[in-house]
Amino acid sequence: MTCPTGKRIFDTRAQARALRKQHPGAPRRAYYCDACHGWHLGRLTRPVKHGVAHNRDAT
C-alpha cells in the first residue's frame, strides 16, 4: 500500500503511537489518513489538507 503523502503507514493507531514513544519530544502525533486509510506520524501534509483526503466529503 502506498500513500500520496509518502509517509510511513501504520495499520493501527496503536502501532503509530508505539513508534512515537521511541522519539520522545519529537513534534509528532498520530493521525488517521483518509488517502491511504492508515495512520501516520506527523503533521497533516498539504496533499491531505487539499483534496486527497477529502474523499468522504465528495459525495
Q: Which residues bind Zn ion (CB under 5 A)?
A: 3, 33, 35-36
Shortest-Cβ-distance residue relative to Zn ion: 33
What minimum distance in Å lies between the beta carbon of 33 and Zn ion? 3
Beta strands in 1-52 (DSSP E): 30-33, 38-41
Kindly tell me which of 24 and 56 has the beta carbon lying closer to Zn ion: 56
33 to each of 13, 24, 25, 49, how far by Cα in Å?
11, 22, 22, 10
Q: Smaller CB distance to Zn ion: residue 24 or 53?
A: 53
